[in-house]
């Protein structure tokens, strides 16, 4: 087990890896323990103290309804993290299954999957997500499904490419010569060896998913009020840009830094795992 974690530790050892990884750990901690870390509730309005700049009482100021901005940003982290990880997780699971089955069994199933993937691949994720949200309706659930489907093509493609190249490895042939069944080959050799690049791609996709969730939230299609979401906060903060700029800027800044951190940490992980070549086919 420790051997498997070594690349993770190595990724933390580089300067960028340390900073980026540190930030991400901070965001995750904040998201999980938001209810313990914030003195205020995220939906208690206090119009007397609306649009106040950052001060001792409110470290990040208040929004147009007098709600503590820092609290809302912390809970927004929870929303972002939950939506992105659940939807990417779901997408990953389905993508792994479809991609592995298509690559292993080939034939008409592979052709169907590849065609479907190629068709979806040409659409930007935001378009697919908007389409699905239009059908399902706004809200956290709809957002998660939409993002899941939007990234399915990527994971299916990547898994399929990995499994195809692994199929011809000698150790797979060796397992077949021992009398291995399809299941044993898939779950004992092919998928475990294909996992690493796919997991790293999933990590990077989480960053994209956070932006996607914020985009949908910006248009009011994501988590519905009063649940805070960074995108929705930025949307309502847009109107206050010149009177209370921190309402849009602070969530925006946290969002940006988080996504950058995910990308930088993902890069450090790719270096540590030395799988740059395998990800080229993604």
Partner 1 sequence: MTDILRIENLTKTFTQNAGLFGKPRSMSAVRDVSLSVAKGGVVGIVGESGCGKSTLARLILRLIEPTSGRVLHGETDLTHLSHRSLQKARKDMAMVFQDPYSSLDPRYSVFDCLAEAYIVQGQRMPTGRVEDLLDKVGLPRTLAQSYPHQLSGGQRQRVGIARALALSPELVILDEPTASLDVSIQAQIILLLQGLRRDLGLTYIFISHDLGLVRYFCDRIVVMYVGSVVEDIRDPQSPPQHPYTATLMASTFAPDPQLRKDLVALEGEIPSPFDLPLGCAFAGRCPRASARCKSERPTLAPGPSGHPVACFHPLGAGGL
> Which stretches of the chain bind partner 1, using CB under 8 A?
3, 169-171, 173-181, 184, 188-189, 192-193
Could you tell me the smallest distance in angstroms from the CB atom of residue 203 to partner 1?
20
Q: What is the DSSP letter of 33?
A: T
66 near 50, Cβ under 8 Å?
yes
Closest CA to 157 of 280, 14, 11, 19: 280
Q: Which is nearer to partner 1, 188 or 226 (CB)?
A: 188
Q: Which is nearer to partner 1, 48 or 277 (CB)?
A: 277
The answer to whether the bond into 226 is cis (omega within 30° of 0) is yes
Q: Which is nearer to partner 1, 67 or 189 (CB)?
A: 189
Q: Which two tokens stand for residue 25?
A: 């750990």
**Residue 190 CB neighbour total at 10 angstroms:** 24
Could you tell me the smallest distance in angstroms from the CB atom of residue 188 to partner 1?
8
CB within 8 Å of 55: residues ≥ 6 apart: 61
Q: Which is nearer to partner 1, 58 or 189 (CB)?
A: 189
Residue 62 has phi, psi (to 5 degrees) of -125, 160
Distances (CA, A) of 200 to 113, 162, 167, 278: 23, 13, 21, 11
Could you tell me the smallest distance in angstroms from the CB atom of residue 175 to partner 1?
7
Could you tell me the smallest distance in angstroms from the CB atom of residue 169 to partner 1?
6
In the chain, count H helices and then E strands: 13, 0
Q: Which is nearer to partner 1, 181 or 256 (CB)?
A: 181
Q: Which is nearer to partner 1, 22 or 192 (CB)?
A: 192
Could you tell me the smallest distance in angstroms from the CB atom of residue 178 to partner 1?
5
Could you tell me the smallest distance in angstroms from the CB atom of residue 138 to partner 1?
44
CA distance 167 to 200: 21
Helix (H, G, I), strand (E, B) or coil at 119: helix
Rg (CA), the chain: 22
Q: Which is nearer to partner 1, 29 or 181 (CB)?
A: 181
Could you tell me the smallest distance in angstroms from the CB atom of residue 171 to partner 1?
4
């Amino acid at each position: 087990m420790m051997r498997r974690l070594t690349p993770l530790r190595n990724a933390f050892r580089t300067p960028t890896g340390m900073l980026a990884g540190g930030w991400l750990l901070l965001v995750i901690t904040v998201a999980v323990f938001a209810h313990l870390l914030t003195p205020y509730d995220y939906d208690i309005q206090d119009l007397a103290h609306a649009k106040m700049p950052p001060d001792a009482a409110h470290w990040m100021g208040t929004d147009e309804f007098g709600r503590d901005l820092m609290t809302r940003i912390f809970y927004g982290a929870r929303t972002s993290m939950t939506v992105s990880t659940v939807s990417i997780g779901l997408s990953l699971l389905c993508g792994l299954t479809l991609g592995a089955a298509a690559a292993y069994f080939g034939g008409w199933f592979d052709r169907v999957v590849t065609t479907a993937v190629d068709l979806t691949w040409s659409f930007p994720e935001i378009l697919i997500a908007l389409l699905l949200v239009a059908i399902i309706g706004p809200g956290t659930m709809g957002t998660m499904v939409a993002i899941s489907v939007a990234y399915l093509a990527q994971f299916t493609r990547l898994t399929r490419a990995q499994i195809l190249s692994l199929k011809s490895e000698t150790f797979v042939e060796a397992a077949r010569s021992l009398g291995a069944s399809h299941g044993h080959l898939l779950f004992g050799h092919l998928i475990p060896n294909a996992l690493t690049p796919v997991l790293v791609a999933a990590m990077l996709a989480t960053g994209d998913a956070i932006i996607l969730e914020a985009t949908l939230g910006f248009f009011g299609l994501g988590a519905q009020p009063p649940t805070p979401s960074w995108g929705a906060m930025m949307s309502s903060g847009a109107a206050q840009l010149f009177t209370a700029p921190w309402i849009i800027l602070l969530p925006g800044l946290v969002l940006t830094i988080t996504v950058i951190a995910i990308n930088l940490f993902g890069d450090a992980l790719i270096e540590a795992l030395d799988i740059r070549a395998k990800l080229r086919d993604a």
